[in-house]
Amino acid sequence: MPHNVTLIPGDGVGPEVTEATRRVIEATGADFRWDVVTVGVAAFEESGTPLPESVVESIRRNRVALKGPVTTPVGSGFRSVNVALRKALELYSCLRPCKVYAGAPVRFEDVDIVVVRENIEDLYSGIEFERGSTEVGGLIDYIAGTTGDHVLSDSGISIKAISDTRSRRIVSFAFDYARRHRRKKVTAVHKANIMKFSDGLFLAVAREVATDYPEIEFEDRIVDNMSMQLVQKPFQFDVVVCPNLYGDILSDLCAGLVGGLGLAPGANLSDDLAVFEATHGSAPKYTGMNKVNPMAMMLSGVLMLRHLGEEERADRLEGAIADVIAEGENVTYDLKPSAPETAAGTSQVADAVIERLG
């Protein structure tokens, strides 16, 4: 029986890395029926919405999607398709493993961190009010009346809401993941010293949930200190659980620790749906150049194969990718910082991985 999977090529470099990934996944021998769908600018021009309902329905039906990056216009235009998709499907958990593969250009060899990011709420959830709007005026009046604080009238306002329910759900996910994968420690990241009612709630819930997992060590770190510790001593961290915004930023930091965005895979998960995508975005300046590293997307494909119960094929694909990195010959410019002129292109990396698969 083939696996039914929704395939979202995305835009920018998305179609190139997605095609390279589709090729290597199929080369493992796994059988797929791809439902290829369009989102973003192209969908907006076609149907007036960047995220057509048919795409959401396709993922609901297939339960699994492989997604390329999608460009979000900055400042104006439509809101992020990525955020909208996570909200529409309640993909509450973003899992971003950051592991060093031998041969990758890194400062520390022994990094193996899994960032678990809450994906729906927090400052990042897209609840915003534009400066000059009636809503902002009303909020400013409300804040002045209830707290005595005077927010300037030319402010824009973004809302940071953190709930007990969603904090509990993501921290439990992180501990369950740690238990399933025999990880030893969970670190909760926050700024509870300043944001007592939002991050403070997240931390209080994390401490409570931790008591259900006595065999797993628990600690917390304030996000600014965490950033410094990650850069200086990353090997002290194992599973890291964060509210949405810190998770977004720290997972890029952790991507930098393992060789860059070209090697950082990810998964967005609900209780029954899974959308696999690289941490990186659409890198628009490289569109159509056959230049960027498809391995982050391929490693997201490895996560997808595992999710589908294809453990042996996932191991073989991960092994083939690791071999290509270790050989250092057929890799893209980001993995050849000292000789970028000898770098392979996106599709050559796929050819090399397929060759290693045998």
Name the residues annotated as catalytic.
124, 191, 224, 248
End-to-end CA distance of the chain: 23
- Residue 182, judged by CB atoms within 10 A of its CB (0-12, 13-18, 19+), counts as exposed
Residue facing ligand NAD at closest CB distance: 281
Q: Closest Cα to residue 242, out of 88, 93, 87, 84? A: 93
Q: What are 294's two structure tokens?
A: 């498809």
Check residue 288 and report its DSSP letter. Answer: T
106: left (phi over 0), alpha (psi -120 to 50) or beta: beta
From 22-30, 167-175, 206-214, 283-291, span contacting ligand NAD (CB under 6 A): 283-291
Q: Could you tell me the two tokens for 201?
A: 């709630």
CB of 12 to ligand NAD, least distance (A): 6
Phi, psi dihedrals of residue 160, rounded to the nearest 5°: -110, 105
CB-wise, 22 or 221, nearer to ligand NAD? 22
Is 256 an interacting residue with respect to ligand NAD (CB under 6 A)? no
Nearer to ligand NAD, 111 or 299 (CB): 299
Between helix 295-307 and helix 14-27 the angle, nearest 10°, is 50
Strand partners, 187: 219, 240
From candidates 302, 334, 345, 354, binder to ligand NAD by CB under 6 A: 334
Which residue lies nearer to ligand NAD by CB, 284 or 337? Answer: 284
Binding of residue 274 to ligand NAD (CB under 6 A): no
Region binding ligand NAD by CB under 6 A among candidate stretches 44-52, 203-211, 234-242, 273-281: 273-281
Q: Among 50, 97, 262, 265, indicate the residue that binds ligand NAD (CB under 6 A).
A: 262
CB of 107 to ligand NAD, least distance (A): 18
Q: Does 71 bind ligand NAD (CB under 6 A)?
A: yes
The strand pair at 3-8 and 32-36 is best described as parallel
Please count the residues of the chain: 358
Rounded least distance, CB 219 to ligand NAD, Å: 29
User: Can you give the binding site for ligand NAD, defined by CB under 6 A?
Assistant: 17, 69-72, 82, 261-262, 277, 280-285, 292-293, 296, 334
